[in-house]
Structure 1
C-alpha cells in the first residue's frame, strides 16, 4: 500500500538509536565462519569431507571472508577436507580470497604435524592461516595445561599445586610466543593466536599475551568467550580495554558462545568497541548452546545498526539454512529469528487483517532481504478478512468449479477451517512428532550404553581369542 505520509513519519526507525555507534568501516569487517570446526563439534553432527567442501562452497558464495577448517593433522578425513577446499580455490569454485584457517596447539609437535599434513596434500604453509592457541584463564592455565607448562619449564609435577599463578601466566606466554616464532620460522605467514576461556581471565594478562604474541610474529589476536558467560556490559568492559591497549591496525577477532542467548548482541557490542573480525556458524550450530548465528548477526547489523557488509548475499540466508539442515540432520526451530519456518507466517486474525493492508504492520525484518516470503497459516486463530481475501484471490478457480465467493461462503469456510484445526489438535499427532524428533536426535550420536555394549562385544571377542 502507498501511505500518504513517508514511512519514516509513521514508524520509528530502530537505527535512530544506533547511528552514532562508532563501528569500524563495514568494508574492514571480516566474517569468520567456524561451521566446519566449532559447528561440527555440536553433538550428533559429523560431516564427510565432501560435505565440508559443499558447505565451504555455500559459505564462500554467500560472502564469508575467513573459514576455519579445523585440525588437518588429526585425521585423514580432515586432511581430505582441506585438500578439497584448497583445490576448490584453485579451480575457482571457492573464492580465491577466502582465508582458510587450520588449528594447532602451541607446541612444535602440533605445528610440525600440521605442516606435514599440508605437505601431504600439496599446500604451502603460507597459503593458510595457522591458529595457534593456548589457555587464557588462570583456571585453564594451572589446572588444564599446568603439567604441560611445568614440563616445558623443567619443573617437577610435585610442584603443580604449590606454584603461584604468576608462574603459569609467565610460562604460558613463553609457550605461546615460542610457538608463534616457530611457525613463522617454518614459512607460516599468518598466525592467529589467543587463549581459551578469555572471558573468565584477567584483561591485563590478555593484553600482555596479545602484545607479546604480536612481537613474536602473530598477526590476528583472538579473544574468546569460550563458555558463553558474558553480558553485553561485560563484553564492552573487556573489549574496550583490549582495543585501547593495542595498535589500531591489529585485526582483533572475537569468538562468542550462546549459552545465555547473548552471543549475537555480545558480538555486535564487541564490534562497536572496535573489533574487526567476528566468528559465526551457519544456523548457530556449535557446542552446548552453539555459536553466534550467522543469520542473526548479519541481519541485525544491517537492519538495526545500518552496517551493511559489502559483498554479503543476505538474500541467500534462508536458502543456506535449509542446506545446513540437510547436511547436519538438525532442523532449526520454527520460530528461529530470520530463518525459521514461521518467522514470516501469520495466523492471528488481528495480525492477518493488518498484514493484508501492508506487511510492515507486523514485520520488522523485510522478508525479501533474507530470501523469505510472507505467508498466511489458517487455523484456530484465523479471522474472516484473511479467509475472504484468500477466496477472492482464487475467485476464477472457484468460479470454474461453480463456486460463488460471497460473505456467506467466507463465513462458512472460516467455521470449517477452525473445526478441522481443532479436530487435528485432538488427535495427538503433535506429541507424536515431538517424540519422533527426540528419538531421531538421540540416534544421531551414540549413547553411553552404546559405548559399553561395544566394549562388551570387543572384550568378549578378545577373551575368546585368548
Structure 2
C-alpha cells in the first residue's frame, strides 16, 4: 500500500516578519495584492499580515485584507501578531476585522527575567487572561514562544514548564521560533523532536531565521523532527539576515522529503518573488537559489555541450517547475553548444562555418566585458555575416573623438588605404559628423568622392539597457545606386564608424 504523506502547513509571514527588513514598508494596496497572490495562486495555507497596534497605515492594510478575505471565505487563514497587553490587541483585532491572533510571549527565561522582569507564574497568568478574552470574543489563537531557541539551550526546564501550561489553554497552534537564527540543524532536530514526542496531540510550527545561512537546512530538520507547520518569507525577507526563504524551503521539501507534502504551487513561486522584489525595492541576488536570475543559466560551454548530448548537467531542480526556462549565457566562456542552444530557442540555424565565426565574435565581446544577451544574437549574426563578404582594404586604424560644452565636436582620424596611411582632423555638428568631415579630407586628397549618406538608423534589442549592443544601419547612395552597411558595438558612434569602414571597403578605389 502507498504510504500516506504528511501535510506540512505553510504560513507565509512576508507581510509581517518580512516587512521588518530594514528600509521596507509596503503600502496597504501592495499588501493586499501580495496577500491575494499568496493565498490564491501560491496557495500557502496561512499568511501573517501585520503586527497589531503598530500604525494607522497597518490598521488600514489589515482592514483591506480582512474585508477581501472574508468575502472569499479565507478569513481564518489571515493572521496578525498580537501582544500580552490585556484587552488592547484584542480590541485592535476586532476593529480591523481579523479573527486569528498570533500571541507573542516569552520562550526563554532570559527574556522573561530581563525584559518583562516577571516570574513564570505571573507571565502565565497574563497570557491566560488574554487567551480567555480572545476566546470570549470569538478569536482563534496561536502562540509564539519568542527566543525559544535560546530557551531550549539555556533554560529548558522553563520551556517545558511553559509548554505544560500552554497545552491546557484554548490554543490552535504553538509556534517555535529560532528568533536570532542561532540553531544548528542538529539542535533543531533534537529540540523539535523532544517537544513533538512529549506533546503528541499538539500542532507545532517551526520558525527559522537565517543569520548563519542555515535557515533552509534548519527547516528540513524541523520537518524531519515532526514539526507540523513552517513559517517562511518570500525571498527570505526579514530582520538582519532574514527568514527561511519560501521558494528554497518548498523545493527542498519536495525533493528530499518524500513522505511529506505541501499545498504550495511551485510554478507560482517565481512570479510572487518578482512581485515582492518590485514592491519592496529589496533586490535579490542573481545567484539566489530557485528565484535568482542566474540560477538556471549555464555559462561554461562544456556544460551546454553536456546538456545537449544527454542532459548531463540537469538535476531534479528543473526551471520549468517554477515557471522558468533554462538559459545559456553568452560571453568569453561560451562554447559552440551555448550558441546553438540560444539559436535553437530563437529558431535560427547557421552553417558550421558561420556558427564558428559567430562564436568567436561573442568570445571577443566577452573578453571586453560586454554583456551579451540572447536578444543581441540576431544583430551579432547580421554583423558577422555581413563582414564575411567584405575585404578589409581600408582600415580605420585610430581615431580620437571629443565633445566639450560650448565647443564644436572634433575628430582626429588615422586611415590606412591599401597600405598607405592618412591622418586628418576636422570639426562637425556632432562626433560622427566630425569623423565624416575628417574622412572626406582624406578622400579629397586622393581625389575621390565618398557616397552620400541618405539614411541613418539605430537599433538596440528590445528591453536593451545602457550597455546593450547597438546596431547602426547606414544607407549610402553612389552613382544613383543605394546600398546599406551595418556596424555593431555597445557605443553608438563606434558602431556607426564600423558601418562606415564597411562602406569604404565596398566602394571601388581608383
If the length of structure 2 is used for normalisation, what is the TM-score?
0.67
| Residue aligning to 1:199 | 149
Segments of structure 2 that go 5 or more residues without pairing to the other structure are 372-465, 468-510
Task: Give the match for residue 297 of structure 1.
Answer: 249
Higher alpha-carbon deviation: 98-107 or 76-85: 98-107
CA contact (8 A) 1:65 1:97 kept: no
Q: Are the aligned partners of 1:284 and 1:292 in contact in 2 as well (CA < 8 Å)?
A: yes
Give the superposition deviation at 1:387: 2.6
**In the alignment, does 2:80 pair up with 1:102?**
yes
* Secondary structure at 2:207 match in 1: strand
Instruction: Name the CA shift for 1:26/1:379 in 2 (closer, same or farther; >3 Å).
Output: same
How far residue 175 of structure 1 moved from its aligned partner, in angstroms, is 2.8
Change (3 A) 1:103 1:311: closer
TM-superposed deviation, 1:116: 2.8
- Alpha carbons of 1:344 and 1:358: their partners in 2 closer, same or farther (altered >3 Å)? farther
Partner of 1:67: 47
- Given that 1:192 and 1:219 are in contact with CA atoms closer than 8 Å, whether structure 2 keeps it comes out as yes
**8 Å CA contact 2:268, 2:322 repeated in 1:** yes
| Contact 1:222-1:252 within 8 A present in 2 as well | yes
Q: Runs (4+) of structure 1 moved beyond 4 Å? A: 388-395
Decide which structure has the larger Cα Rg and report it.
2
Helix, strand or coil for the counterpart of 1:361?
coil
Q: Return the offset for 1:286.
A: 0.3
Counterpart for residue 257 of structure 1: 209
How far apart in 1 are the matches of 2:267 and 2:235? 15
- Pairs aligned (count): 368
Question: Per-residue displacement from partner, 1:292-344 (whole Å, max 9, x unpaired)?
Answer: 11101111111222256354211111111111111111121111111111111
CA distance in structure 1 between the partners assigned to 2:344 and 2:197 by the alignment:
62
Determine the structure 1 residue equivalent to 2:111.
140
Q: CA deviation at 1:76?
A: 1.6
**Quick check: 1:348 aligned with 2:300?**
yes
SS, match of residue 36 in structure 1 = coil
Q: Cα RMSD (Å) of the superposition?
A: 2.5
Worse-superposed segment, 352-361 or 237-246: 352-361
What residue number does 2:356 align with?
411
Structure 1: segments with no counterpart, 5+ residues: 1-21, 150-167, 399-404, 427-431, 434-466
Give the direction of change, closer, same or farther, for the CA distance of 1:88–1:376 in structure 2 (3 Å limit): same
Cα contact 1:192–1:222 (8 A) shared by 2: yes
Q: Is the Cα–Cα contact under 8 Å of residues 223 and 254 in structure 1 kept in the other structure?
A: yes
* Corresponding position of 1:113: 88
Q: Which has the higher helix share?
A: 1
Q: Determine if contact 2:50/2:58 at 8 Å carries over to the other structure.
A: yes
1:207 and 1:245 in contact (8 A); partners too: no
Note the C-alpha offset of 1:218: 2.4
For 1:394-453, what per-residue CA distance to the aligned partner results, in whole angstroms no more than 9, with x for missing partners? 67x67xxxxxx3322222212211111121369xxxxx99xxxxxxxxxxxxxxxxxxxx
In structure 1, the residue corresponding to 2:369 is in which secondary structure? helix
Flag the 1:238–1:228 CA change in 2: closer, same or farther, 3 A. same
Aligned residue number for residue 197 of structure 2? 244
Kindly state the Cα deviation for residue 260 of structure 1 after the two structures are TM-superposed: 0.7
- Say which SS state the counterpart of residue 261 (structure 2) adopts: coil
Structure ranking higher on relative contact order (CA contacts 8 Å, 6+ apart): 1
Structure 1 residues 69 and 392: alpha-carbon distance in aligned structure 2, compared to 1, 3 A threshold: closer
The normalised TM-score by structure 1 is 0.74
Provide the rounded CA distance (Å) in 2 between the counterparts of 1:82 and 1:256. 24
The structure carrying a bigger strand percent of its residues is: 2
Note if contact 2:108-2:147 (Cα within 8 Å) is conserved in structure 1.
yes
Question: Whole-Å Cα distance in 1 between the matches of residues 346 and 130 of structure 2?
Answer: 69
Match of 1:420 in 2: 365
Give the Cα–Cα distance (whole angstroms) in 2 for the partners of residues 228 and 66 of structure 1: 22
Q: Would you say the 8 A contact 2:6–2:261 is kept in 1? A: yes
- Whether the aligned pair in 2 keeps the contact of 1:345 and 1:375 (CA below 8 Å) is yes
Residue 56 of structure 2, aligned match among 76, 80, 83:
76
